[in-house]
Amino acid sequence: AATEQMTALESLVRRAVREQPVWDFHTHLYPPSFGTPFSGAANGADPKGLMLWGIDELLTYHYLVAEVFRVVPARQLPYDDFWRMTKSEQADHIWKHLFLERSPISEACRGVLTTLQRLGLDPGDRDLQGYRGWFAQQDPNRQIDRVMEIAGVSRITMTNAVFDDNERQRWLENQDVGADSRFAAVLRFDPLLCDWPHAAARLTEWGYPVGPTLDDEGVEQGRRFLRDWISRTRAIYCAVSLPPEFLYDGMEDSRISSQVLRRIVAPVLEETNMPLALMIGSKRGVNPQLRDGGDMVGLADVASVARICADLPRNRLFCTMLARENQHELAVAARKFRNLMVFGCWWFVNNPSLIDEITRMRVELLGVSFIPQHSDARVLDQLIYKWDHSRELIANVLVDKYRDVAATGWRPTEAEIRRDVRLYFHDNMANFLASP
Amino acid sequence: AATEQMTALESLVRRAVREQPVWDFHTHLYPPSFGTPFSGAANGADPKGLMLWGIDELLTYHYLVAEVFRVVPARQLPYDDFWRMTKSEQADHIWKHLFLERSPISEACRGVLTTLQRLGLDPGDRDLQGYRGWFAQQDPNRQIDRVMEIAGVSRITMTNAVFDDNERQRWLENQDVGADSRFAAVLRFDPLLCDWPHAAARLTEWGYPVGPTLDDEGVEQGRRFLRDWISRTRAIYCAVSLPPEFLYDGMEDSRISSQVLRRIVAPVLEETNMPLALMIGSKRGVNPQLRDGGDMVGLADVASVARICADLPRNRLFCTMLARENQHELAVAARKFRNLMVFGCWWFVNNPSLIDEITRMRVELLGVSFIPQHSDARVLDQLIYKWDHSRELIANVLVDKYRDVAATGWRPTEAEIRRDVRLYFHDNMANFLASP
Amino acid sequence: AATEQMTALESLVRRAVREQPVWDFHTHLYPPSFGTPFSGAANGADPKGLMLWGIDELLTYHYLVAEVFRVVPARQLPYDDFWRMTKSEQADHIWKHLFLERSPISEACRGVLTTLQRLGLDPGDRDLQGYRGWFAQQDPNRQIDRVMEIAGVSRITMTNAVFDDNERQRWLENQDVGADSRFAAVLRFDPLLCDWPHAAARLTEWGYPVGPTLDDEGVEQGRRFLRDWISRTRAIYCAVSLPPEFLYDGMEDSRISSQVLRRIVAPVLEETNMPLALMIGSKRGVNPQLRDGGDMVGLADVASVARICADLPRNRLFCTMLARENQHELAVAARKFRNLMVFGCWWFVNNPSLIDEITRMRVELLGVSFIPQHSDARVLDQLIYKWDHSRELIANVLVDKYRDVAATGWRPTEAEIRRDVRLYFHDNMANFLASP
Ligand SMILES: [Mg+2]
Ligand SMILES: [Zn+2]
Ligand SMILES: [Zn+2]
Ligand SMILES: [Zn+2]
């Protein structure tokens, strides 16, 4: 009977995790209004369009590009030769070397297979042309609905990089470009904190005159810039990706990044009641020949994040880190600061063995008060595999945890389990966005 | 037959781990002679008493205080409002938010449930008033016996902080305050190594005149202070908790902490044949509003510990570290120094997934030559869950390890398994305390 | 049916891993031509011989020496007393304390048992004299064949330390000393990168005059030295072991080690088309009284390795690191650089729980493009247990990974699985050695 109850509990938990729609905290996805280089069954491909989808994008995801260069010697294929190929040639190359000549057991390879299967295609066919044919018949807009349905995603959070010319232009040219209720905007402005001279030059050029050092007038212009873009994008939060070297030493820290944070970013976010998301630990371009795939990881300084939380109690921070070795300390930091919401397993830690260990650690240290995962999808269809794999791993952890409390006689009800899972997949994010 | 033998072996191991009484290496528990703010069925509550027990203390454990602040927004409950509540109101608040409005699956929440269950109460009732009623009928002194019996703890090690006025006064006023055979004293003197100016001022005030720098006379006074307090408390070892920044650079290191260690602490411990316990990695008060729960973790320097072991070969060191990322290096350091005894999974690593990985690593690297766990209990009744959970995790690891050697044809006998488990839970500590 | 297919898949994977002969990437083993201090049934023991084998060597492996000192107090057995014992007395001592008076559940102890069992002896007998008798009847040369057969090792890579007088002399005296087809040579020259003054003095003494700083003439002599020894040993690659403090800061880095790397090592390796193996993280001699067992671990700088890969694109690097906390970043670095081949779980991370986590992480991040393991065996017979244990752990990971892709409908064939396992155990190494 005890065993039966445990089995029933396990089923409940797995079902709740499977069925709970998720608000994806962070992606690089866009609605069709931002254009797509592959129009499928629709008209009007936009070569510089931002909405990526389809099998060729799946296969040329920068994770897989990085992997294929490992198995094809430089002599056989120099970087430049690869980049000169068409997208389909690149996809063919990756399919050949990572799927056929070796088994596709890396997480990024496996993800392509899961995606195909859940879309109703059969990976067992190994029929790349067939998959291409299927995608060519799909309408990109309807594919968004289909993928969200299959992945159980109720809302997709974009990353809207205001310092990216291609993207900025689209916002300026079309004030409704973001008006797709399936998507929420996030204002991303890395250069403000990472490269002030560059940021200052651009702001000045865009009508917000600021100097290389930060005086009161520069502060005011910086704030105005943020307010304008928050309003233009209707962002739900703001975000920056910071290198592992990022440091914040407290109220007296005169680094330009600390000044910008304290004087420009924090006040505007406080007045707009919006959290800031910090993604820390990506070391840009250690191998520029890999392009998007050329960033590495480095150990970041969790103590700096703790100091920000302490110094800016009227601000709220989302935070994720890239280094495995920061995960424990970051979870501990979240125990210390109610204005710190840990989220997701990012990029190089978004792998099954690491998702398992990180999620386990977080549940043990933080209960249900964190955001277990985000997809970071760059290609629409990836939502399927990212969430499929993560749901299974998160469910494994939760099954263990509910069984542990059930073993004491505590009886979690189905409603309670669904409530907890909703917190993980939706409400923690929504509440943290809403509540000061 | 092979499977049957393995099952029999597993039972043997689990039974040995369950039945072996443990000498708890480190707690913050006290006998009734130190007073208790909650007298239960007995007379004479002492509001500043040091013996903590009962459901309200279990629920307001600083681990849970930290957790509840995460789920109740600052607007809804500022820190000060929480601290103005009575203990029972705080407990009600935590029960509501961490047990009823969310499922109690964090390790600290689960611990309360295990404790209740093993005390004969039913967590399934969710009846906080009922639990309170039960505790109110218990005698604190007899509760110690009951908890030790249930937890399988044969002796409790205290932490006797000589720089804590409340505690010091009790030792000065009653020379038998520590004379409870269930408890052993440990002299703890963090300020000696962490804050010499403060320590020196107090010592001077207490009749051991020492200056802000360390001259020969100061060394002699410092030694006399230690000798007096070791003798007064009948301490079985001495202990300090050190911040992650603690460094020891060798015999020429002129840091005041290194001088105190080499000239005061080490010689007195050598003459009294007593080890020193180092607990390294706690960063004090990053969020003072959480009070006891406001400390964070930081990466410590294992190389410094190795240097201490090398420079002070006639001293013996117990050591535990708070950062997950120090655990492997610390276990390796213990392979290098016979005068280094690694112990326990401390605070933020005292969680199932981390106990499992740390214990596994240590068995693989150190065999049976370490102390797998201590409870760090601050509330008497926590002994139950801390040991219940740890015993299960340690048994899981040992089952795997005995099975591995049994698979080679080696046949561990019941007596051998019990001997090994006794080493882990009692004899390694006893031997290391005894043997020069 | 799905379950049956999964069970069949699991069998296939386990069989492929068990049956695939491995080219052992890194050992400290030698053929009989280098002499052996224990001649067994053959004639002519050489007290300074380099080929180690037999039960007494197994038991006095420095891993076990380190472990026995932990359990025998210093008072009972000072370091010197141990070192004054004969090899057999040391073995007796270790057998008594680590096998009989405690259960042999550390990984190093367990390894002895696995080795005995697979050699046809019964660890259940606990008959050290009997095991000795058996080894005494074996011929060392034939024992190599037997061990390679049992361990499934097709070729053994040596480590040929040119700065070791004993070994260098043997190469100089006998030009065919390395001519045993079961073994491949590797030129190892740590002092060139770690201790240039010492290296320079030796090179000068040996007829390659170089000064304490590096001028053009010194560079030429250094290159000539490397060429001569590569040619003499017929090395298949070159190798260095570097301390955790090793740093390489880029093309402008004027550290002597960086100069030697860029100007001497890299050009010679490029002209001979040979990779360099970096083993980083061993802190030498923290406890010299443990001799070979006295080294510790320290966190190394993965960013330096990344810079080397970027700055020397015409060179190829094998790399392993000793610290657990470097493993994730190192695997990520390998994603960035096609000229970086990660290999093995070294020394303190060559334990089941760590092999499992490292291998899992690597498969997820790198697919089949790395070298999962090397034995690091110093005693011939250790090949058996090192590979037995690792094969089982690697198979566990691969079973999970093939099952994951099979769950999508992808059907890995037996031929494909065998091809992948051959890549892991042989071809990745062979290809990386061959291909520029
Ligand atoms: Mg793990
Ligand atoms: Zn992203
Ligand atoms: Zn404590
Ligand atoms: Zn080696």
Partner B, chain A 7-66, Cβ-Cβ below 8 Å:
none
Instruction: Identify the closest residue of chain C to B363 by CA–CA distance.
Output: C106
C416 in reach of chain A (CB within 8 A):
yes
Do both B61 and B12 map to the same domain? Answer: no
Do both A26 and A99 map to the same domain? Answer: no
Do both B107 and B181 map to the same domain? Answer: no
Size of interface B-C (CB pairs under 8 A): 135
Do both C169 and C293 map to the same domain? Answer: yes
Length of chain C as a residue count = 436
CB contact under 8 A, B103 and A357: no
Measured between beta carbons, the chain A residues lying within 8 angstroms of C408 are 110, 113-114, 116-117, 123
The CA distance from A266 to the nearest CA of chain B, in Å, is 17
Residue A436 pLDDT more than 80?
no
A329 in reach of chain B (CB within 8 A):
yes
Partner A, chain B 119-148, Cβ-Cβ below 8 Å:
122-124, 126
* Ligand closest to the CA atom of residue C158: 4
Do both B106 and B181 map to the same domain? Answer: no
CB contact under 8 A, B333 and C124: no
CB contact under 8 A, B423 and C102: yes
Do both C216 and C86 map to the same domain? Answer: no
Contact B152, B118 (CB under 8 A): no
- Whole-number Å distance, alpha carbon B377 to ligand 3 midpoint, is 8
Q: Could you give the strand order of the β-sheet that contains C317-321, starting from the edge strand earlier in sequence? A: C160-161, C186-188, C237-242, C276-280, C317-321, C340-342
Contact partners, residue B148, CB within 8 Å, separation at least 6: B154, B156, B182, B383
The average pLDDT across A146-171 equals 98
- Residue that terminates a domain, selected from C136, C161, C188: C136
CB-nearest partner of C70 from B338, B405, B412? B338
CB contact under 8 A, B369 and C71: yes
- Tell me the backbone φ, ψ of residue B354, rounded to 5 degrees: -85, -35
Measured between beta carbons, the chain A residues lying within 8 angstroms of C343 are none
CB contact under 8 A, B71 and A369: yes
What does the alpha-carbon distance between residue B47 and residue C287 come to, in Å, rounded to a whole number? Answer: 51
What does the alpha-carbon distance between residue B402 and residue B417 come to, in Å, rounded to a whole number? Answer: 9
Helix axes B352-366, B382-406, angle to 10 degrees: 40
What does the alpha-carbon distance between residue C63 and residue C51 come to, in Å, rounded to a whole number? Answer: 18
Do both A294 and A347 map to the same domain? Answer: yes
Residue C1 pLDDT more than 80?
no
A36-78 pLDDT, tens digit each: 999 999 999 999 999 999 999 999 999 999 999 999 988 899 9
* CATH number of the structural domain spanning residue C107: 1.10.2020.10
The pLDDT tens digits along chain B (436 residues) read 789 999 999 999 999 999 999 999 999 999 999 999 999 999 999 999 999 999 999 999 999 999 999 999 888 999 999 999 999 999 999 999 999 999 999 999 999 999 999 999 999 999 999 999 999 999 999 999 999 999 999 999 999 999 999 999 999 999 999 999 999 999 999 999 999 999 999 999 999 999 999 999 999 999 999 999 999 999 999 999 999 999 999 999 999 999 999 999 999 999 999 999 999 999 999 999 999 899 999 999 999 999 999 999 999 999 999 999 999 999 999 999 999 999 999 999 999 999 999 999 999 999 999 999 999 999 999 999 999 999 999 999 999 999 999 999 999 999 999 999 999 999 999 999 997 6
C2-42 pLDDT, tens digit each: 899 999 999 999 999 999 999 999 999 999 999 999 999 99
Kindly report the number of other CB atoms within 10 A of residue C115's CB atom.
27
C327-343 pLDDT, tens digit each: 999 999 999 999 999 99
CB-nearest partner of A105 from C310, C401, C419? C401
Largest CA distance in chain A: 72
> Which chains touch C (3+ CB pairs under 8 A)?
A, B
Do both C94 and C230 map to the same domain? Answer: no
ipTM over 0.95: yes
Query: Near ion ligand 2, which residues have CB within 5 Å?
Result: A 376
- Domain coverage including residue A353: 21-34+153-379+427-434
Which of C315, C410, C424 to mutate to test binding with chain A, by most A CBs within 10 Å of its CB? C410
Considering the domain boundaries, does residue B47 fall inside one? no
* CATH number of the structural domain spanning residue C237: 3.20.20.140
Label residues B142-170 b or e (16+ Cβ within 10 Å = b).
ebbebbbebbbbebbbbbbbbbeeebbeb
Q: What is the DSSP letter of B102?
A: S
B362 in reach of chain A (CB within 8 A):
no
Considering the domain boundaries, does residue A405 fall inside one? no
Contact B430, B25 (CB under 8 A): no
Residue A1 pLDDT more than 80?
no
Do both B278 and B410 map to the same domain? Answer: yes
A411 in reach of chain B (CB within 8 A):
yes
CB contact under 8 A, C351 and B332: no
What does the alpha-carbon distance between residue A54 and residue A38 come to, in Å, rounded to a whole number? Answer: 8
Contact B41, B139 (CB under 8 A): yes
- Residue that terminates a domain, selected from C136, C164, C180: C136
Which of C368, C394, C396, C397 to mutate to test binding with chain A, by most A CBs within 10 Å of its CB? C368
Considering the domain boundaries, does residue C161 fall inside one? yes
Considering the domain boundaries, does residue A101 fall inside one? yes
Measured between beta carbons, the chain A residues lying within 8 angstroms of B98 are 367
Average pLDDT of chain A is 97
Considering the domain boundaries, does residue A406 fall inside one? no
CB contact under 8 A, C105 and B435: no
The average pLDDT across A209-227 equals 97
The average pLDDT across C101-121 equals 98
Do both C259 and C329 map to the same domain? Answer: yes
Share of chain A above pLDDT 90, in %: 98
Partner B, chain A 254-293, Cβ-Cβ below 8 Å:
none
Measured between beta carbons, the chain B residues lying within 8 angstroms of C296 are 303, 306, 329, 332-333, 336
Amino acid letter at C105? I
Do both A91 and A225 map to the same domain? Answer: no
> Which chains touch A (3+ CB pairs under 8 A)?
B, C
Contact C33, C176 (CB under 8 A): yes
Considering the domain boundaries, does residue C50 fall inside one? no
Of the given ranges (A71-75, A100-104, B306-310, C298-302), which has the lowest mean pLDDT? A71-75
Considering the domain boundaries, does residue B44 fall inside one? no
- Number of domains composing chain B: 2
Average pLDDT of chain C is 97
Quickly state the pLDDT bin for C99 (edges 50, 70, 90). very high
Size of interface A-C (CB pairs under 8 A): 135
Measured between beta carbons, the chain B residues lying within 8 angstroms of A367 are 67, 70-71, 98, 102-106, 109
CB contact under 8 A, B367 and C104: yes
What pLDDT, on a 0 to 100 scale, did the predictor assign at position A435? 78
Considering the domain boundaries, does residue A49 fall inside one? no
What pLDDT, on a 0 to 100 scale, did the predictor assign at position C436? 61
The CA distance from A405 to the nearest CA of chain B, in Å, is 6
Do both B225 and B210 map to the same domain? Answer: yes
- Residue that terminates a domain, selected from A106, A136, A166: A136
